[in-house]
Amino acid sequence: MRPVLYVLSFIAVMALAFWAYRENYATQHQLKEMGRLQDEIASLREALVLQRAEWAYLNRPERLRALATANFERLGLLPLEPTQFGAAAEVAYPAPPAPPAAEGATGVDAEGLPAITDPVAVAGRIAAVETATAGAAKPGDKEYP
Amino acid sequence: MIRTPLRPLARILSARQKGENPDSIERENLRLRHEAMRDKSRMRAEGRLLFLGVVFMAAFCTIGARMALLAATEPMEPRAAATGAEITAQRADITDRNGRILATNMQTYALYAQPKDMVDPARVARELAAIFPEIDAAALERRLTDGRSFLWIRKVMSPEQMQKVHEIGDPGLLFGPREMRLYPNGTLAAHVLGGASFGAEGVQSAEVIGTAGIEKAMDARLRDPAQAGTPLQLSLDLTLQAAIEEILGTGMNMLNAKGAAAILMDVHTGEILSLASLPAFDPNDRPNPLVKGDAGDSPLFNRAVQGVYELGSTFKIFTVANALQLGLVTPESMIDANAPMRVGRFLIKEFQNHNYGPKLSVNDIIVKSSNVGTANLAMLVGAERQAAFMQSLGLFDPTPVELVEAPGAKPIVPKKWPEITVMTTAYGHGIAASPMHLAAAYATIANGGVKVTPTLLHGGVPQNGPRVISPEVARAAIGMLRGVVQVGTATLADVPGYQVAGKTGTAEKPNKAGGYDSDKVVNTFAAMFPADAPKYVLVVTLDEPVETTGATPRRTAGWTAVPVAAEVIRRVAPLLGLRPVVEPAPVDTLTAVSN
């Protein structure tokens, strides 16, 4: 009985030694991996800071002003004026979408207006034409969009 | 243990036979027993002490060994711990109120040399001089070959320059990592930010310390490792700051002014939304302070905070508010304003020797900016109450704003208050304060009479300071200031829709001879808007401006500071989200109709 116990315990010691050996190397590997990841995080964080700084540098008011001036023809940007404040009531409601039937109805009557095919479709078309030509709708329009 | 009897019968008997005293035997035995007991307890105590000594020795040895180990090993970051709470930056960022970056850190490298490892110092010196224009090749070569073992060459450099240094390829050239302070907006808000430089320098790192402005004033907060990750949020608004600096710069150039300053402040919270001082400098490359001449001529000089000027007529409203608060007058009371007024050997005159008198209502004293009327009003108030009122507005102490320059800018206050001083301080002469003081005092009036303390830090709440004047008096004072803009000396500031209220101030600069220069003035316009419920205070100061479009050069604030301030308000008010209000036309009080 005793020799069997000796052999078993010897095998157990060997197995544990093998397990500890592997665990040791796995831990070291994980630590190395962790260090690598942390280096990566640090470098990414550094890059992030640099990019934030660059974003701030590229968006500095002086440069934006120069760009707005250089691209005035295309963008037409000007400083905000007190007259540019509007009331919510002045905002035109969007025209209701024209039903597909009206899109197909290309018939034009003698006065150059679209031919009346359907009362609902006509209402939509008229509203659309009105906003397209008049630009901003009158304040009263909001009650009858 | 066997106890020895104290009185052994054998010895007692023999002692009795010999006629000795048997008690002495007992005493002898007792003494021996006590001695034995004492020896035993001493042994035990000594044993304990020894044991304790060994334990302490072991503990100290362990700690000492651990210390030696820690001291001898290379420092290493804990790698197994989870990241998150570690130090992300050496110095916290500074942002404006909307989180836009005003100051941040950038990783860069310092260049140093170890001449002992250098292969060809002459070539290195030549090539470095080609990369860095400020390096003199001959001088550098001399320093590289004079036998020293270490030499700093450059504190910071760009990545391109670093690559070129790499390309020299000499083993004696080495790089040390550096964190460098970067101000991406250049000269914008330069006087608030101040600047930073390197403190103690090592090869692997260098500390970054603030040298001026908020960088120095809040240095401890910015360097606190626990707060390095959270940026310091200022109350400044980058957009407003840029707009105001642009307009101020244009105004300064058009009016040939030497300098200009502007402060925009929220009257409820005391937050400074914009603080501009021109000429400005680039905090990335902060110039050296002037070694000779007037420090006020340096671009480093913050006119808004450090510029202690006599602010002139802008002070009149304080005298009037005080008189109203004391119940001495009402806005309609008639005050003697017969100019010129003789006080001892002094003569108090009005602008261009006008005479607004003989009597002027308190309201008209402000609207017409009458020196004589204000002086008479000050006499009603008296010296003590005048000085106490000005002190309660904070005009006697440095402003508590978070700039390192602020505590040094102490107002110049008269030491004694004779009659003439009471009169001149009433209209802002003989007392000098900075535009920041003026902005805080006007904010106090605009805030309904509750004292406002200016701050540069975001997160202000409506201030609950001590009450200086009653809400009614504040309202009346604002009404008078509105009158100045509607019909008085500042009509050019009447921006439609924003109900500007304000007061002009023109003060001649004192010269070295002890008098005043009539062609060197400091023009100030202190304004608040909108007048019916003031939200913002704007102070614009121009140093030695002159308006030359007319036949004669004009140097009054109404022609210089006021138009600049008006342009600032026109531009800034929409950015503040203030909607222009259509003011109702004055109602005709009486209409004459026939029949």
CATH code of domain B239-575: 3.40.710.10
- Tell if the CB–CB gap between A82 and B573 is shorter than 8 Å: yes
Residue B80 is predicted with a pLDDT of 65
Pick A31's closest partner by Cβ from B80, B239, B241. B80
- Counting Cβ atoms within 10 Å, is residue B306 exposed (0-12), middle (13-18) or buried (19+)? buried
**Mean pLDDT score across all residues of chain B:** 87
Catalytic residue, candidates B235, B274, B313, B434: B313
- Tell if the CB–CB gap between A52 and B104 is shorter than 8 Å: yes
Kindly tell me if the per-residue pLDDT of B88 is higher than 80. Answer: no
What type of residue is B203? V
What type of residue is B390? M
Distance CA B296, CA A35 (A): 54
Kindly tell me if the per-residue pLDDT of A141 is higher than 50. Answer: no
DSSP β-ladder status, B101-113 and B151-154: antiparallel
- Tell if the CB–CB gap between A61 and B239 is shorter than 8 Å: yes
Q: Which residues pair with B278 in a beta bridge?
A: B260
CA dist B99 → A116, B233, B394, B502 (Å): 56, 7, 31, 32
Reported as a pLDDT band with limits 50, 70 and 90, residue B525 is very high
Residue B558 is predicted with a pLDDT of 85
- Which residues are CB-contacts of B231 (< 8 A; sequence separation ≥ 6)? B92, B93, B94, B95, B99, B101
Please give the residue that has the higher pLDDT: either B480 or A142.
B480
Kindly tell me if the per-residue pLDDT of B207 is higher than 70. Answer: yes
Residue B404: CB atoms within 10 A of its CB come to 18
Residue A126 is predicted with a pLDDT of 42
pLDDT-above-90 percentage for chain B: 34
Containing B320, the helix (H) or strand (E) segment is: helix B316-325
Reported as a pLDDT band with limits 50, 70 and 90, residue B445 is very high
Reported as a pLDDT band with limits 50, 70 and 90, residue A114 is low
Distance CA B222, CA B207 (A): 12
Alpha-helix runs per DSSP H in B356-452: 362-368, 371-381, 383-392, 419-426, 435-446
Pick A60's closest partner by Cβ from B80, B185, B570. B185
Kindly tell me if the per-residue pLDDT of B163 is higher than 70. Answer: yes
Return the minimum-mean-pLDDT range out of B142-156, B234-248, B430-444.
Answer: B142-156
Domain boundaries, chain A: 2-69, 86-143
CATH code of domain B94-233: 3.90.1310.10
Please give the residue that has the higher pLDDT: either B444 or B340.
B444
If interface means Cβ-Cβ distance under 8 Å, which residues of chain B face chain A? 77, 79-80, 83, 88-89, 100-101, 104-107, 182, 184-186, 188, 238-239, 241-243, 246, 495-498, 570-571, 573-575, 579-580
Q: Is A45 on the interface with B (CB under 8 A)?
A: yes
- Cβ atoms of B426 and B484 closer than 8 Å: no
Kindly tell me if the per-residue pLDDT of A11 is higher than 80. Answer: yes
Q: Which residues pair with B173 in a beta bridge?
A: B113
Distance CA B580, CA A83 (A): 8
Q: Choose the mutation target among B77, B79, B244, B568 for the interface with A, i.e. most A CBs under 10 Å.
A: B79
CA dist B538 → B162, B276, B311, B532, B574 (Å): 46, 11, 14, 16, 15
- Cβ atoms of B471 and B501 closer than 8 Å: no
Q: Is A41 on the interface with B (CB under 8 A)?
A: yes
- Tell if the CB–CB gap between B80 and A84 is shorter than 8 Å: no
- Which runs of E-coded beta strand occur in B256-340? 259-266, 272-278, 309-310, 334-336
Kindly tell me if the per-residue pLDDT of B57 is higher than 50. Answer: yes
Pick B101's closest partner by Cβ from A41, A56, A84. A56
Q: Which two tokens stand for residue B360?
A: 């002027």
Distance CA B198, CA B61 (A): 41
Residue B588 is predicted with a pLDDT of 60
- Tell if the CB–CB gap between B107 and A49 is shorter than 8 Å: yes
Kindly tell me if the per-residue pLDDT of A51 is higher than 80. Answer: yes
Kindly tell me if the per-residue pLDDT of B409 is higher than 90. Answer: no
What type of residue is B517? D
Residue B548 is predicted with a pLDDT of 82
Residue A106 is predicted with a pLDDT of 54
Give the DSSP letter of residue B227. G
- Cβ atoms of B235 and B458 closer than 8 Å: yes
**What's the maximum distance between 2 C-alpha atoms anywhere in chain B?**
163
| Long-range CB contacts for residues B217-222, cutoff 8 Å, separation at least 24 | B217/B402, B217/B403, B217/B404, B217/B406, B218/B402, B221/B92, B222/B91, B222/B92, B222/B94
Token look-up 């934030």 returns A52
* DSSP letter for each residue of B451-520: ----B-BS--------B-S-HHHHHHHHHHHHHHHHHSTTGGG--TTS--EEEEEEEEEE-TTSSEEEEE
> Cα-atom radius of gyration of chain A, to the nearest Å?
38
Kindly tell me if the per-residue pLDDT of B526 is higher than 90. Answer: yes
Give the DSSP letter of residue B271. B
Closest by Cα among B478, B397, B399 to B431? B397
- What are the pLDDT digits (tens) for B121-151? 888 888 999 998 888 888 888 888 888 888 8
- What are the pLDDT digits (tens) for B169-194? 889 899 988 888 889 998 999 999 99
Counted residue by residue, chain A has a size of 145
* d(CA A19, nearest CA chain B) in Å: 21
Residue B60 is predicted with a pLDDT of 97
Q: Which two tokens stand for residue A98?
A: 């024209």
SS (H, E, C) B90-147: CCCCEECCCCCEEEEEEEEEEEEECHHHCCCHHHHHHHHHHHCCCCCHHHHHHHHCCC
Token look-up 């020896």 returns B39
Residue B86: helix, strand or coil by DSSP? coil
Distance CA A49, CA A32 (A): 26
Distance CA B96, CA B235 (A): 6
Please state the rounded mean pLDDT for residues B509-530: 83
Rounded to two decimals, the ipTM of the complex is: 0.74
Token look-up 């008690």 returns B23
CA dihedral B341, B343, B347, B350 (to 10 degrees): -40
Q: Which residues pair with B265 in a beta bridge?
A: B272, B537
Please state the rounded mean pLDDT for residues B562-568: 93
Q: Which two tokens stand for residue B253?
A: 């150039």
Q: Which two tokens stand for residue B393?
A: 């507005």
**Winning range, highest mean pLDDT, from A44-58, B146-160, B232-246:** B232-246
Q: Which two tokens stand for residue B402?
A: 């978070």
Distance CA B413, CA B315 (A): 13
Domain boundaries, chain B: 94-233, 239-575
Reported as a pLDDT band with limits 50, 70 and 90, residue A132 is very low
Reported as a pLDDT band with limits 50, 70 and 90, residue B82 is low
Token look-up 């709440």 returns B461
B313 is catalytic: yes
**CA angle, residues B11, B13, B19, in degrees to nearest 5:** 100
Please state the rounded mean pLDDT for residues B101-127: 89
Pick A85's closest partner by Cβ from B79, B104, B579. B579
- Cβ atoms of B173 and B113 closer than 8 Å: yes
